[in-house]
Amino acid sequence: MVGSSHEALHRIFQKDPELLTRALQRVLHVPFPRPTEIAALNVDLTEIEPVERRVDTLLRAETDEGTYLLVVESQGKADERKRGSWPYYLSYLYEKYRCEPVLIVITQSSSTAKWASRPIRLGFPGWHSLSVRPLVLGPDNVPVITDEKQAEADPTLAVLSAMTHGRGPGAMAILESLASALRTIDSDSAAVFAQFVDSCLVDPQAKQMWRDLMTAVQYFWRHPLAEQVREEGREQGRIQNQQEMTLRVLEWRGIPVPDAVRERVMACEDLDQLELWAQRAVHATDAAELFADE
């Protein structure tokens, strides 16, 4: 099961490798040649020295004009150390594979996209020994897809749209159009895309919207993500029961429960902590004793 946006990106590009080259052509207007073959490569760039360097996704694209390496980085925020590693990645990959590397950065943040798109120049000013120009896909250049027919025409691009724009007031329309598009493709691909979107949505409200949309789709509930959703629901139920039981014990024993105590108990989602408070509630003479020694 996809556990992070990085792994999710890797999975989606394995599912539809040409999504990257289409994005370069249609979003960034880079005249990248149409691949005749794309293969996933090992993302580990670690050398003999004990320094680990790993890219998020690495694909080899065979075209009529030559072979290219597509180096994909998912970037959540500005990170100068990460940015400093990009020239190393490209140089190492060129030396190892002897074909041209292309750096592609994907982000959900406009400010991060602006930061990532700045050229990296190493060497003497005006005579740089090395210059790196990342190609950046982000909320300012990936199209917002809210039309169902447009999403159905290119579901993978609709997934990319949901990833970069799936938050804020427009999220519902984007997610609804994508949900409609997923019903038109095979269930295995739809399940992978559904899981990918779920892992990439950082806005809790948007994530819940997406899960609500997916509950009506039968294939979703046969997918491992569905079990994750059900388990989260069961966990939340156990937490709520423990919260309510702790307060009920105090009330049954006739001990006043101030609002501050009630709010603190209901805000806690640590089952072990709640169990300790419930045990203390059995013997406490004052509600504040729940938090003794804390």
| pLDDT for residue 50 | 42
CA–CA distance, 63 with 196 (Å, rounded to integer): 28
CA–CA distance, 206 with 291 (Å, rounded to integer): 35
CA angle 158, 162, 168 (to 5 degrees): 140
Pairing of strands 100-106, 135-137: parallel
One-letter amino acid for residue 37 of the chain = E
| pLDDT for residue 231 | 59
| pLDDT for residue 6 | 54
CA–CA distance, 257 with 287 (Å, rounded to integer): 6
3 state SS of 16: coil
CA–CA distance, 105 with 52 (Å, rounded to integer): 20
Cβ-based neighbours of 268, under 8 Å, separated by 6 or more: 243, 274, 277
| Packed helices 155-165 and 18-26: angle between N→C axes, nearest 10 degrees | 70
Pairing of strands 66-74, 100-106: parallel
3 state SS of 26: helix
| pLDDT for residue 239 | 82
| pLDDT for residue 221 | 45
Positive or negative torsion for Cα 90, 93, 97, 102: negative
The pair of three-digit structure tokens given for residue 167, joined into one six-digit string: 């938050």
Report the predicted TM-score, pTM, of the whole model to 2 decimal places: 0.57
CA–CA distance, 161 with 173 (Å, rounded to integer): 11
The pair of three-digit structure tokens given for residue 31, joined into one six-digit string: 């005249």
| pLDDT for residue 211 | 79
Q: What is the pLDDT tens value at each position of the chain, 294 positions in all?
A: 444 555 555 566 666 666 767 777 777 788 878 777 766 676 665 554 444 467 777 888 888 888 999 888 878 889 888 888 999 999 999 998 899 999 988 888 899 999 999 999 988 777 888 999 999 988 899 999 999 999 999 988 898 898 888 776 788 889 989 988 888 888 777 877 887 787 677 778 888 888 778 775 554 545 555 555 555 656 777 788 788 888 887 887 788 999 888 988 988 888 888 888 887 887 788 988 888 876
